[in-house]
Structure 1
Amino acid sequence: MTRDRDKRGMFTELTTAEAVIKVLEASDDPVMTAKEIADHLEVSRDTVGRKLAQLLEEEKVSQKKVGARAVVWWIQD
Structure 2
Amino acid sequence: MTRDRDEKGKFTELTTSEAVLKILETSEDPVMTATEIADKLDVSRDTVGRKLAQLAEDDEVGRKKVGARSVVWWIK
> TM above 0.5, one fold?
yes
**TM-score, scaled to structure 1:** 0.98
For the residues of structure 1 that align with 2:53 and 2:68, how far apart are their CA atoms?
Answer: 19
Counterpart residue number, 2:13: 13
How big is the shift at 1:10?
0.2
- Structure 2 residue 54 is the aligned partner of structure 1 residue 54: yes
Counterpart residue number, 2:31: 31
For the residues of structure 1 that align with 2:8 and 2:48, how far apart are their CA atoms?
Answer: 23
Aligned residue-pair number:
76
SS at match of 1:64: strand
For the residues of structure 1 that align with 2:11 and 2:75, how far apart are their CA atoms?
Answer: 28
- What is the alpha-carbon root mean square deviation over aligned residues? 0.3
Kindly report structure 1 stretches of 4+ aligned residues shifted beyond 2 Å: none
**TM-score, scaled to structure 2:** 0.99
Cα deviation per residue 1:23-72 (whole Å; 9 max; x = unaligned)? 00010000000000000000000000000000001000000000000000
Q: Percent identity?
A: 75
5+ long unaligned stretches in structure 1: none
Which amino acid in structure 1 is aligned with residue 31 of structure 2? V
For the residues of structure 1 that align with 2:26 and 2:37, how far apart are their CA atoms?
Answer: 11
